[in-house]
Structure 1
Amino acid sequence: MRRLEGKVALVTGGSRGIGKGIALRLAEEGAIVVVHYGSNKELAEHVVRTIENNGGRAIAIGAALDSVAGVTQLIHTLKEKLTQSLGDSHFDILVNNAGIGTSNTFEETTEEAFDALFSVNVKAPFFLVQQALPLLRDDGRIINISSGVTRIAYPHIMAYNLTKGAINTFTLHLAKLVGSRGITVNAVLPGIVDTDVNSSWLHTPEGHKHAVEMSALGRVGQPSDIADVVAFLSSPDSRWVTAQLLDATGGSHL
């Protein structure tokens, strides 16, 4: 039984990495998936084709989420595309996955870099939810992708860590705000995941050994590990779970 049959899901940053894994997994469960991308249309269309080749349905939408104007563009296009394809602009699941990282240390972080991180990682999800709530059906789901760095001290990339701490706080208060509509809000906290973003260091012998040793389970996380958690939180099975921060680090730094 496919738990999300007939549901419509929007996955931001769904063209690559963890977002791609989430988009594919929700489609497996029967959801019609809107694959958002920031700049690489080709990658997003590849995800759409993969879903369609497996018998699912998907739509690609591009929008730069570095400003409220970009969020507004995404919502406008979403309404337009859903109405054209389904005859209804409402949807059921919002996965706030899109985000940017940094290699700047605490000492190297500039005001410009700090502002860019908060614009994409905090401001965009905040205003996306604000504008999406009228379209999100009652008993819907909001899943925010946070990070294990909110539990594990890693001051090397402090500005990034602060953005994910903000997402955790957002999750708590938003769950209270929308609970009367039956909408649940939860955050997933990944650890090190084998994606193209991490490949430059993770695929070295030293980097791989370091990542494996961090996990209580003795391996590196995969996008599917995170996607399966999101699939649960998107499903009716999670109906009594809200305002939770689900650690999906594989037991890192226990």
Structure 2
Amino acid sequence: MSPVSTSAEPVTTAASDTGVRRRASRSGLISLASVCAGVALWWLAAALNPATMPSPLDVAVRFGQLVADGTLPGDIAASLRRVLIGFVIGCGLAVPVGFLMGWYRTGRAIAEPWIQFFRTIPPLAIIPLAIVLMGIGEVPKIFVITLASFLVCVIATFQGVVTVDRTLINAGRVRGASDWVIFRRIAVPASVPFILVGMRQGLGASWATLVAAELIAAQQGLGYRMQQAQVYYDIATIFVGLVTIGVLGLLMDRCLLWADRRLTSWQERR
């Protein structure tokens, strides 16, 4: 019987891999069709209302002009720098604070009232105070982006720690594991999926805060360029900014999703 079982296992694995590839290919085709349908609807809306809605071709032409004169690359670099710095600082602070809140009741009692208090205040409402306290340089811009990503990621990390299966923790204690070993070998791996979801949400919050953050006396950036285009009723430039932010955010989210799959390969997926 053993030779039959041994030879059947590779066949089963190959069939499973083929099924996964087929599902991935089908999902890719559906996504491509969805994007094409969206662009077609955009083109139709532009044809029905050409006075206020630029077509995809108009936006592509404007995109080329902004790239050719160096405006768009400079704006992308400035906005990416602000988003990445704010996102990294925010998530870098959120993960240890979330673990502290989830693992120690005292830490939760100290930090949770402040976290919940600032969660009810939109980060954009902090902008006037940030200007008064920090001036009009890069610091207040990065600060509001950091705050936005921190508040999202810290809650996800906290939720990941408090939802760790108690059975696994009790099993570790029965086998004589110390609290540090349980934390490192059980709590941290079990919390990683929550942390990465929080980081993806924090990334979205960072980009959402960017445009308002660049209201603070910015001279460069996608949000700044869109606000200047609004003054001159340059709708094509506004669309270029929107599409660029969407594409950059999507690419960064795909990177986090790739990391999620690599770090949580042990997790059962649908």
Same fold (TM over 0.5): no
The interval holding the TM-score normalised by the smaller chain is under 0.3
Q: Which has the larger radius of gyration?
A: 2
TM-score by length of 2: 0.25
